[in-house]
């Protein structure tokens, strides 16, 4: 298959044409099992295709457990659909590669079990909490203001570029020393004379609060219901890939992952079965390719 292209087809069909271990980084933002169609399919029913996929994976322990727990309801259909695709993602992922699976409260616990089963519990890296400000507050219970991104590696020795987050303003007062170059720093305390510089930030944590969702007035908005911010994908792509690596998004929606990969000098491959999303992503990549070509002249 060609690289640096988005395909309008089911990712399962596409992945079967990819060789083992070719992908350095996978990010997916699959349907959230809402049982609602919001411009893309997210209503799940048992059919012949699901039956054929179930026959392949029915002896997997986690699938057996899900069937006992759920029966053949819509959630079980969704989990069969996802399981067989994540199996293929594991196959095409490089030995030092990583996968990020974007989800929410509806299925995060189930997807964690699937990823443990396929990738191995020992290859769980982080459960990233992406906290944002949008969303509604129910009459009872608490407002849901975050998504979950499950981060797994294929092997313990995986590629990772440490990301450091800016020091929050309320902590700036602690950086009261200035070196000969005018850089502010603080000391470690007690007998620790290590200099910790303000402009170097601090080691990142697994709760991300500095990236908001794309609102209606955002310049990057492309009128696709599940579009994710470029800043979110830039962070993930920078952390888990290097220039020249191959980044894949098998549910690429409006094409944000692919656009970010191209911007950061990575190769990409994307799959989007929804025709509207595919057309948006294709137009976006073509327009941005023209812009990049102009900048490189």
Q: Where residue 235 falls among pLDDT bands split at 50, 70, 90?
A: very high
For residue range 23-52, what is the model confidence (pLDDT) as tens digits?
999 999 999 999 998 777 899 999 999 999
Q: Are 149 and 132 in contact (CB under 8 A)?
A: no
In angstroms and rounded to an integer, the radius of gyration of the C-alpha atoms of the chain is 21
For residue range 81-108, what is the model confidence (pLDDT) as tens digits?
999 999 999 999 999 999 999 999 999 9
Residue 128 CB neighbour total at 10 angstroms: 21
The token pair that represents 7 in the structure block: 């395909």
- For β-strands 267-271 and 5-7, DSSP reports them as parallel
The token pair that represents 100 in the structure block: 């990020």
CA angle 221, 223, 227 (to 5 degrees): 65
Provide the pLDDT for residue 207: 96
Per-chain mean pLDDT for the chain: 93
Containing 187, the helix (H) or strand (E) segment is strand 184-189
Greatest Cα pair distance in the chain: 71
Residue 29 CB neighbour total at 10 angstroms: 23
For residue range 274-292, what is the model confidence (pLDDT) as tens digits?
999 999 999 999 887 644 4
Containing 76, the helix (H) or strand (E) segment is helix 74-92
For the chain, the structural domain boundaries read 5-162+205-296, 164-203
99 burial level (CB within 10 Å; 0-12, 13-18, 19+): buried
- Report residue 98: phi and psi, to 5°: -135, 160
For residue range 159-210, what is the model confidence (pLDDT) as tens digits?
999 989 899 899 999 999 999 999 999 998 777 889 999 999 998 899 999 9
Fold of 5-162+205-296: Rossmann fold (3.40.50)
């Amino acid at each position: 298959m060609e690289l640096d292209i988005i395909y309008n087809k089911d990712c399962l069909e596409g992945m079967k044409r990819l060789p083992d271990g070719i992908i350095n980084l996978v990010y997916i933002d699959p349907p959230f099992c809402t049982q609602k169609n919001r411009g893309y399919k997210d209503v799940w029913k048992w059919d012949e295709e699901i039956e054929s996929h179930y026959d392949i994976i029915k002896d997997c322990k986690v699938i057996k457990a899900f069937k006992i727990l759920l029966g053949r309801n819509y959630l079980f259909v969704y989990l069969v659909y996802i399981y067989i695709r994540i199996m293929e993602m594991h196959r095409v992922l490089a030995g030092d590669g990583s996968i990020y699976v974007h989800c929410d409260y509806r299925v995060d616990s189930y997807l964690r079990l699937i990823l443990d089963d396929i990738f191995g519990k020992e290859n769980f890296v982080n459960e990233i909490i992406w906290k944002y400000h949008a969303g509604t507050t129910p009459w009872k219970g608490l407002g849901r203001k975050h998504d979950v991104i499950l981060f797994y590696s294929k092997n313990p020795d995986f590629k990772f570029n440490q990301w450091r987050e800016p020091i929050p303003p309320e902590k700036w007062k602690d950086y009261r020393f200035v070196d000969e170059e005018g850089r502010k720093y603080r000391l470690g305390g007690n007998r620790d004379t290590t200099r910790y510089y303000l402009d170097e930030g601090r080691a990142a944590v697994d709760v991300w609060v500095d990236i908001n969702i794309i609102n209606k007035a955002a310049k990057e908005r492309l009128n696709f219901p599940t579009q994710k911010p470029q800043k979110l994908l830039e962070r993930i792509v920078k952390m888990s890939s290097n220039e020249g690596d191959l980044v894949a998004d098998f549910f690429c929606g409006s094409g944000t992952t692919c656009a970010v990969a191209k911007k950061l000098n990575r190769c990409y491959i994307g799959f989007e079965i929804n025709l509207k999303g595919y057309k948006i992503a294709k137009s976006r990549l073509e327009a941005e390719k023209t812009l990049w070509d102009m900048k490189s002249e």
